Structure 1
Amino acid sequence: MRVLFVLQIFLVFTITLILCLDKNQLIQYSVKQYNKLDVDIKIGVQYPTDGKPISTKWHTTPGVNNQWTAGFYPGVLWYLFNYTKDDHWKHLAIQATDGLFANQFRSDTHDIGFMIQCSYGKGYEFTTNSTYPNIIANAAHSLAKRFNHKVGCIRSWGSIDDKKQFLVIVDNMMNLELLFKGYEITGNKTLYDMAVSHANRTLKEHVRKDNSSYHIVNFNVTTGQVIRRYQGQGYNDSSTWARGQAWLINGFTTTYGFTKLKIFLDAAEGLANYYINNLPEDSIALWDFNVPKDKYPYIPRDTSSAAIAASGLFDLYGHTKNNKYLKTAKQIMESLASSKYRADGKPVYNLPALILNATIAGPNADPGKSDLAIIYGDYYFMNALKYYQ
């Protein structure tokens, strides 16, 4: 483990020598925006989810009411503490994290990984709070209850007792980190094996031969066979949803980091190459890579996909030293940090967020779910800053 830790530090240091964005200015910008946000919400009770640029307030949810995004806000606060070393942010982060305590015992959602790793996980990484590992381990065992041995995956949506269908979405690759961390804390190799099994099955069933991807696969609970492959938040069943592709880049890169199995590194590279090859000029992905431009006069971008992808590409560069991944991640961050996508980029913008023009679902689903600030976009933007001096 010591060797792995030293290697990770070396890789991050190597990357920071190459990049040139002014990290201090971006941190100051983040502090300014989140100081305004924190005045308007009850820390530990309300958790920002999304908001329109011209609004002054985010939509919020409770921390324990089946809201998968709740962990990202405390994660942003933990990054602000880590970057500034200001105890103000630490106290807020602890309060926001404490509000998610009950989630460690939930087996009704696969998103417990997002909820716990972005809050307690980051808190432990930045403070080594001795109470946090037990919470992380409890959450990992709760997530493990959603594993089906016939399917070889963690169930994404639905009750663990649902006998009619077994839905697995690409987002779920991001929750495998919780299983790996649970294994590191407890030594329970079953958690590790479940994560590897899920990654293998996702690679086989969700990733197409050209390295594009399906969002959802429905499995037969009894036999484990595939019933249907399709999209939920993308354009159609044969298209590739940009955020889903970004989840996969991250998920397989993380899985390789824990396992060192080359099959997962190859998968991450294939998925990353597809993503890069389909980017527009400013490197901020459209909501779906295959939307027919003649059918939709306006196709929204997805800066949340961009921030997630940048984080994954930086990690992938650390493992491969392929400059293509570093170059694209840097281009994405430069675009996100420009006035075109920043939440203070126009005088009419009021929302205390970091980046705008994120998309929950495209115009074929609901026009009101695009061109937003989304909390996980801000979170992964902050995460990507760790690669800058």
Structure 2
Amino acid sequence: MKIRSIYMALALLLASCARDGQKPLEAVVNEALARAEQQTLLMAEKYAGREGRLPRTWENGEDVSSDSRWWCSGFFPGTLWYVYENTRNPKVLEYARMYTSRVEREKYTTDNHDVGFMLYCSFGNGLRLTGDKAYEEVLLTGARSLATRFKPQVGLIRSWDHNRDKWQYPVIIDNMMNLELLMWAAERSGDKSFREMAVSHADKTLEHHFRPDFSSWHVVSYDTVSGQPHLKQTHQGFSDDSAWSRGQAWGLYGYTCMYRLTGDARYLQHARNIAGFLIGHKNMPADGIPYWDFDSPDIPSTPRDASAAAIMASALVELSGFVEPAEGEKYMAFAEKQVRTLASPEYTAQPGENGDFILLHSTGAYPFSSEVDAPLTYADYYYLEALTRIKQKLQS
């Protein structure tokens, strides 16, 4: 009943947009997907002969690539899978398989927590769309590798191994995004320990990572003996007490996902609380594209982060289906605003420009002057996911 009501509300919203002279949302989504296919094919063709390389960003007029070790390696293959899902272009499928294969060795990675990003965005989408049994083995092996980073005494998956002089057991909010792989592995393998790890991680993150206003710290380091936090700070945000925008989006997405996978009402309520913080923040720009940090002292003369908007929009579309109709309509309206902005010439590159990335104006790590006002693979990935989710709602 809630889902049906959301669709009715979406239909009313579309009718209102038409009356206001806006292009219908369906047309915006379809045109955005067509442009995405153009750019993604150009990118795939460009990198096809660069064995083992994957796009990372584009700066100073030059390509910046990585091998599979970079934490973002799974996003371009995932973008190809979303393009294929919407177009069924056999050439896109060929490229999706090829670039996904470039990430396979990461199924053995045990020295960082990004295995979920690397494998579930690539092989996970590939399995969902093709049913290729070989992809199952990669994902299960990857889940076992990720599970080695879970310490029962702490109850969380360790994020990083560096800065040991400062952090005993660092966990970053981004780590919520890797739980879906463990939840899938539990269901597929029948090994309940994967689910227990994911739930434990989500529970302790909910308890220790969030402030009373439902903003989150970026890094929480835990004492390895007591299992309690000994340090809460930032690594990529403005300050330890600021709200780094992409981190807030990771939290929103992560708890929305965990509600879908567990049905635990606590996770739904927490996702709603984070959504309220983001949508109602006094420094949220009118067009829905956050500044890189909500507490940057240079607002409004500071970079935006299209990647944070894309992650947030995708999460809000999903969250809208889990709540009462009026609340769901609010989430859909905000996600629509974000997608319309991202699909506009201000944020979408012309074909063949922007190093063949889709979106402009993302911010990777501002404090390190890294990938500032630049295209990023994960911005494109979550933008395609948001478009796909909206399209599916419109067609239902």
- Whether TM exceeds 0.5 here: the answer is yes
Alignment partners' CA distance in 2, 1:164 and 1:272:
29
The Cα shift of 1:297 comes to 6.9
Task: Specify the code of the residue in structure 2 equivalent to 1:168.
Answer: V
Alignment partners' CA distance in 1, 2:348 and 2:270:
32
> Helix, strand or coil: the match of 1:338?
coil
Q: 1:360 aligns with which of 360, 364, 371?
A: 364
8 A Cα contact 2:63 2:355, kept in partner:
yes
Which residue in 1 is equivalent to 2:334?
328
8 A Cα contact 2:108 2:141, kept in partner:
yes
Alignment partners' CA distance in 2, 1:221 and 1:282:
43
Task: Specify the code of the residue in structure 2 equivalent to 1:351.
Answer: G
Alignment partners' CA distance in 2, 1:248 and 1:80:
26
Which residue in 2 is equivalent to 1:49?
56
Is structure 2 residue 288 aligned with structure 1 residue 287?
A: no
Alignment partners' CA distance in 1, 2:301 and 2:308:
18
Alignment partners' CA distance in 1, 2:166 and 2:288:
42
Q: 1:168 aligns with which of 163, 167, 171?
A: 171
Alignment partners' CA distance in 2, 1:70 and 1:8:
37
Alignment partners' CA distance in 1, 2:253 and 2:167:
30
Q: 1:118 aligns with which of 118, 121, 127?
A: 121
Which residue in 2 is equivalent to 1:93?
96
Which residue in 2 is equivalent to 1:383?
385
Cα deviations by residue, 1:171-190 (Å, 9 ceiling, x for unpaired): 00000000000011101111
The Cα shift of 1:12 comes to 9.4
C-alpha root-mean-square deviation of aligned residues, in Å?
2.4
> Helix, strand or coil: the match of 1:370?
strand
Which residue in 2 is equivalent to 1:69?
72
Q: 2:45 aligns with which of 39, 49, 67?
A: 39
Alignment partners' CA distance in 2, 1:34 and 1:274:
34
Alignment partners' CA distance in 1, 2:113 and 2:191:
19
Cα deviations by residue, 1:106-125 (Å, 9 ceiling, x for unpaired): 21111000011011000011
Alignment partners' CA distance in 1, 2:264 and 2:5:
19
Task: Specify the code of the residue in structure 1 equivalent to 2:47.
Answer: I
> Helix, strand or coil: the match of 1:25?
helix
Cα deviations by residue, 1:161-201 (Å, 9 ceiling, x for unpaired): 99961000000000000000001110111110110000011
Distance 1:355 1:243, change over 3 A: same
8 A Cα contact 2:79 2:381, kept in partner:
yes
Is structure 2 residue 375 aligned with structure 1 residue 373?
A: yes
The Cα shift of 1:343 comes to 1.5
Alignment partners' CA distance in 2, 1:165 and 1:58:
36
Distance 1:162 1:144, change over 3 A: farther
Distance 1:178 1:8, change over 3 A: farther
Distance 1:219 1:350, change over 3 A: closer
Task: Specify the code of the residue in structure 2 equivalent to 1:81.
Answer: Y
Alignment partners' CA distance in 2, 1:15 and 1:253:
20
Q: 1:138 aligns with which of 141, 146, 154?
A: 141
Alignment partners' CA distance in 1, 2:337 and 2:127:
31
Is structure 2 residue 229 aligned with structure 1 residue 222?
A: no
8 A Cα contact 2:3 2:321, kept in partner:
no
Which residue in 2 is equivalent to 1:242?
245
The Cα shift of 1:361 comes to 1.9
Task: Specify the code of the residue in structure 2 equivalent to 1:372.
Answer: A
Alignment partners' CA distance in 2, 1:333 and 1:71:
23
Which residue in 2 is equivalent to 1:58?
63
Alignment partners' CA distance in 2, 1:186 and 1:8:
32
> Helix, strand or coil: the match of 1:359?
strand
Is structure 2 residue 184 aligned with structure 1 residue 178?
A: no
Task: Specify the code of the residue in structure 2 equivalent to 1:50.
Answer: T
Alignment partners' CA distance in 2, 1:356 and 1:380:
14
* Unaligned ranges ≥5, structure 2: 15-24
Which residue in 2 is equivalent to 1:277?
280
Alignment partners' CA distance in 2, 1:103 and 1:376:
18
> Helix, strand or coil: the match of 2:387?
helix
Distance 1:11 1:131, change over 3 A: farther
**How many corresponding residue pairs?**
372
